[in-house]
Amino acid sequence: MIPGVKFGGIASGIKASGLDLGLVVFDQPTYVTALYTKNKVKAAHILYDKKVTNPVRAILANSGCANACTGPEGTRDLKVLSETLSGALHIEDGKVLFASTGVIGRRLPTETMAKAIPGLVKALKENQEESFARSIMTTDTYPKIVRETVPGKRPYTIVGIAKGSGMINPLLATMLVFIFTDYPVSPETIRKTLLEGARESFERISVDGECSTNDSVFLFTRQGPEDLGGLQAFRDKLFSVMKELSMMLVRDGEGATRVIHITVNGAKKEETAEKIARRIAISPLTKTAFFGCDPNWGRIIAAVGDSNVAVRPSSVEIILQGEVLARNGVEVLFDEEKVKKLMNKKEVDLIVNLGDGRASYDMYTTDLTFDYVKINASYRS
Amino acid sequence: MIPGVKFGGIASGIKASGLDLGLVVFDQPTYVTALYTKNKVKAAHILYDKKVTNPVRAILANSGCANACTGPEGTRDLKVLSETLSGALHIEDGKVLFASTGVIGRRLPTETMAKAIPGLVKALKENQEESFARSIMTTDTYPKIVRETVPGKRPYTIVGIAKGSGMINPLLATMLVFIFTDYPVSPETIRKTLLEGARESFERISVDGECSTNDSVFLFTRQGPEDLGGLQAFRDKLFSVMKELSMMLVRDGEGATRVIHITVNGAKKEETAEKIARRIAISPLTKTAFFGCDPNWGRIIAAVGDSNVAVRPSSVEIILQGEVLARNGVEVLFDEEKVKKLMNKKEVDLIVNLGDGRASYDMYTTDLTFDYVKINASYRS
């Protein structure tokens, strides 16, 4: 709970059933810092939000409709909703942000939403984070909330809320993330910090290599005299919230039965290690092998070789759950039954040593399962 | 049938059951032109074959073991087999090529194979292309052979044989391709022609975006005075054989229920159209939607936007089976039930018009199905 930050979530009728409209309102003018998808096709809410100037007063989020590829009408719909909401909140117009997730290509049902706004405003409470978190879920199987409270002379809280399950790939993932804090920090510091934090968290997860039109990370902070002494501690807590949210996202990856922690060591440059880790993370053959608990290291080394970077196959070592499967690029004797059992866990550790230098990169991906296909072959029906 | 080119295929015991060892022997010294995988991790047979000098006399191929990531031993195994086979065929040593497909990281069972060689040599016949084609199958569901005979003053034949089903992505696909002809053509001409042909065929298919360690295309031609007058006709026939083989590969894609023909038009440069087509071709969300007959054009435009090239979303048009789903980047009214039915076909046409120029690119991919996951979660067991 953050004093002066109220949450709400209701079933407005955008979806056939379930919560689908969420609202966060700030008693005080609040400073927002945001990161958006790198997809060239951007949802209307991103095009709109980019023009909203600080400070802001509220954010309205919905599931069930991405409001992407909706043309100028998609942006106009948001202007109409902004007016309605500003009126209901008695705030200056133009200070409301939007975030949407759901099917691409459909316009928002603005009348339905406008009708629901008075009820939503009434439902607002400081402790309703969960309703808000539930209102933005699509194929997510649970709401994703992380809270950190830092005691001390000047105590503060960080609350992070996210949604995302499929269409997840770094830079950014297909997700909406909202982080709130009452720690006072300057605009210059916060943007740099958010970028660094994203690089350590959301950019290190992948479910299916897809990049959505709606990805957004919003960080809401108080304006005020910066507490330089506490900045390092705040930074650490913020990164920890972001990292935990990103782990919640990848663990809830569509159809996933396990998370694979990929670490690539021994590269000449971190960039090389990253390219290889990302290539492994999107390899369907590797991901299906992890689903089947098959220690098929040949598929992993094939992905390494296909990473578009120089590698010396004869120096590659592959370690799965602590068991060495290959060294100097060739198989070593290992107990296949034992490794299969070790792979049958919620989280599996894969280490690839390149033997070429001292740089590393690590990230998380999921296995590729029947349920991923099931969920996505019938998502709209 | 090509006079003087004999084929054979037997069950040698590399696999638990089924044909697994194939041989092609040339009565005449024959000129080989080959293209190999761009994966940095290359199978032993590729490292070995690259050192064999023209002309050649035979090629020994096997399924059940990729002989990849087997270190110097993997290459030494081929030297031993070459000696045995050359002895059995009474030819000079060093004129035998190899091609392998199967599990990565396992060494060839050379003793088992050497014992089977005399029987394989005895089984050789000019009309045994099918035994050879069957001996190199892995998850393929049918043998892949294309024959073209060109009549005329100087008649000739082209026979193409391929294997490949999973780990298929252009440049090259995970496949082995063998093309034989008795048309006389010069080394300089044939290399250029083969590269051009591959660009129009094998490089335009994708099943799962994976690039194998063993991909190889071998073209065997006669040496002799070049018939310049017939060259264009030969080229056309050769390209037609390569194109047909590549269609057989993609149609037999692991678990695939349909083939999607992706055409990207209206690009400023062909390279841009190609990048977008390739991005769509590996998009799991697009591929699962095709499996589910879901005209979910939003996923297609999201892939377009994630292709790492400049696009103007507001000028994109998407046409599925002749039905316009989106124009100027937004949905147009279409009959969803009708389009679903139109998608329930073996081959589906997807056209993306960028409205930005006059360059095009087209290629083929498969849908992503339960069976792809099933096949690959349990491939080794």
pLDDT tens by residue, B47-80 = 999 999 989 999 999 999 989 888 899 999 999 9
CA distance B181 to B233: 13
Q: Is the domain defined by A259-377 classed in CATH 3.20.20.70?
A: no
Which of A37, A46, A103, A104 to mutate against chain B (most B CBs within 10 Å)? A104
Note the CATH architecture for domain B5-251: 4-Layer Sandwich (3.60)
- Two structure tokens written together for B254: 């692991």
- Say if B68 is an interface residue toward chain A (CB within 8 Å): yes
Q: Measure in Å the smallest separation between the Cα of B282 and chain A Cα atoms.
A: 9
Which of B118, B142, B138 minimizes the C-alpha distance to B130? B142
- Beta strands B156-163 and B56-62, pairing class: unpaired
CB contact under 8 A, B302 and A39: yes
Give pLDDT, residue A172: 43
Q: Where are the beta strands (DSSP E) in chain B?
A: 5-10, 21-36, 56-62, 96-100, 144-150, 156-163, 176-184, 205-206, 216-222, 259-267, 317-320, 323-327, 330-331, 347-353, 359-366
* Residue-averaged pLDDT of chain A: 87
pLDDT at B34 over 50: yes
Residues of B in contact with A326 (CB under 8 A): 69, 105
Residue A237 is classified by DSSP as H
Which residue among A41, A291, A310 sits closest to B301, beta carbon to beta carbon? A41
- Say if A276 is an interface residue toward chain B (CB within 8 Å): no
- Say if B332 is an interface residue toward chain A (CB within 8 Å): no
Give pLDDT, residue B130: 94
- Say if A380 is an interface residue toward chain B (CB within 8 Å): yes
Q: How far separated are the first and last CA of chain A, in Å rounded? A: 37
Which of B47, B76, B104, B374 to mutate against chain A (most A CBs within 10 Å)? B104
- Say if B303 is an interface residue toward chain A (CB within 8 Å): yes
- Between B40 and B119, name the one with better pLDDT: B119
Residues of B in contact with A275 (CB under 8 A): none
- Beta strands A347-353 and A259-267, pairing class: parallel
CA distance A376 to B291: 9
- Say if B289 is an interface residue toward chain A (CB within 8 Å): yes
In the stretch 105-124 of chain B, residues with CB closer than 8 A to chain A read: 105-106
pLDDT at B218 over 90: no
Q: How far separated are the first and last CA of chain B, in Å rounded? A: 37
- Say if A359 is an interface residue toward chain B (CB within 8 Å): no
Residue B186, SS3 per DSSP: coil
pLDDT at B205 over 80: no
The DSSP result for B277-289, as a single string, is: HHHHHT-HHHHHH
Residue A230 is classified by DSSP as G
Give pLDDT, residue B5: 92
CA distance A70 to B331: 7
Determine the residue of chain A that is closest to B169 in CA distance. A306
Which residue among B68, B69, B209 sits closest to A284, beta carbon to beta carbon? B209
CA distance B259 to B257: 7
Which of A373, A378, A380, A381 to mutate against chain B (most B CBs within 10 Å)? A373
pLDDT at B94 over 80: yes
Q: Measure in Å the smallest separation between the Cα of B37 and chain A Cα atoms.
A: 10
Per-residue model confidence as pLDDT tens for chain A (381 residues): 888 999 999 999 999 999 999 999 999 888 888 888 777 778 899 999 999 998 999 999 999 998 988 889 999 999 999 999 999 999 999 999 999 988 888 899 999 999 999 999 999 999 999 999 999 988 788 888 888 888 887 788 889 888 876 555 544 445 777 888 888 888 788 888 888 887 777 777 766 666 666 777 778 887 777 776 788 888 888 888 888 888 888 888 888 899 999 999 999 999 999 999 988 988 888 999 999 999 989 889 888 988 888 888 889 999 999 999 999 988 899 999 999 999 999 999 999 999 999 999 998 899 988 888 888 787 554
CB contact under 8 A, B297 and A368: no
CA distance A335 to A337: 6
Please state the pTM of the whole predicted model.
Answer: 0.78
- Two structure tokens written together for B363: 């290629």
Question: What number is the average pLDDT over the span B141-165?
Answer: 84
Q: How confident is the model at residue B252 (pLDDT cuts 50, 70, 90)?
A: confident
The pLDDT tens digits for B171-189 are 444 577 788 888 888 878 8
- Say if A373 is an interface residue toward chain B (CB within 8 Å): yes
Q: Are A205 and A175 in contact (CB under 8 A)?
A: no
Q: B1 burial class (0-12, 13-18, 19+ CB within 10 angstroms)? A: middle
CA distance A231 to B66: 55
Q: Measure in Å the smallest separation between the Cα of B104 and chain A Cα atoms.
A: 5
Give pLDDT, residue A154: 79
- Beta strands A156-163 and B317-320, pairing class: unpaired
Catalytic residue among B30, B139, B174, B257: B174
Residues of A in contact with B344 (CB under 8 A): none
Residue A78, SS3 per DSSP: helix
Give pLDDT, residue B174: 53
Give pLDDT, residue B180: 85
In the stretch 211-230 of chain B, residues with CB closer than 8 A to chain A read: 211-213
Q: Measure in Å the smallest separation between the Cα of A378 and chain B Cα atoms.
A: 6
CA distance A364 to B167: 22
Which residue among A104, A211, A306 sits closest to B298, beta carbon to beta carbon? A104
Q: What number of residues does chain B have?
A: 381
- Give the residue numbers of A marked as catalytic: 174
pLDDT at B381 over 60: no
Give pLDDT, residue B119: 96
Determine the residue of chain B that is closest to A292 in CA distance. B377
- The C-alpha R_g of chain B, in whole angstroms, comes to 22
Residues of A in contact with B379 (CB under 8 A): 289, 292, 294, 296
Q: Measure in Å the smallest separation between the Cα of A276 and chain B Cα atoms.
A: 12
Which residue among B105, B211, B289 sits closest to A306, beta carbon to beta carbon? B211
Give pLDDT, residue A87: 96
Residue A163 is classified by DSSP as E
CA distance A56 to A33: 10
- The dihedrals phi and psi of A50, each to the nearest 5 degrees, come to -60, -25
What ipTM does this complex have? 0.73
pLDDT at B87 over 80: yes
Give pLDDT, residue A38: 76
- Two structure tokens written together for B317: 């048009």
Q: From the CB of residue B130, how many other CB atoms can be counted at a distance below 10 Å?
A: 14
- Say if A318 is an interface residue toward chain B (CB within 8 Å): no
- Which sequence spans correspond to the domains of chain B? 5-251, 259-377
Q: Are B266 and B282 in contact (CB under 8 A)?
A: no
Which of B36, B37, B38, B41 to mutate against chain A (most A CBs within 10 Å)? B41
CB contact under 8 A, A369 and B373: yes
Q: Are B249 and B165 in contact (CB under 8 A)?
A: yes
- pLDDT cut 70: percent of chain A above it: 94
Which of A289, A262, A265 minimizes the C-alpha distance to A367? A289
Q: Are B214 and B43 in contact (CB under 8 A)?
A: yes
Give pLDDT, residue A171: 45
The pLDDT tens digits for A285-296 are 899 999 999 998
**Region of residue B35 (left: phi > 0; alpha: psi -120 to 50; beta: else):** beta
Determine the residue of chain A that is closest to B310 in CA distance. A40
Residue A127 is classified by DSSP as T
The pLDDT tens digits for A204-262 are 776 666 666 677 777 888 777 777 678 888 888 888 888 888 888 888 888 889 999 99
Q: Measure in Å the smallest separation between the Cα of B130 and chain A Cα atoms.
A: 29
CB contact under 8 A, B329 and A68: no
Residue A139, SS3 per DSSP: coil
The pLDDT tens digits for B294-313 are 998 988 988 898 888 888 88
- pLDDT cut 90: percent of chain B above it: 45
CA distance B261 to B351: 8
Q: Measure in Å the smallest separation between the Cα of B222 and chain A Cα atoms.
A: 34
H or E element in which residue B116 lies: helix B110-123
* Residue-averaged pLDDT of chain B: 87
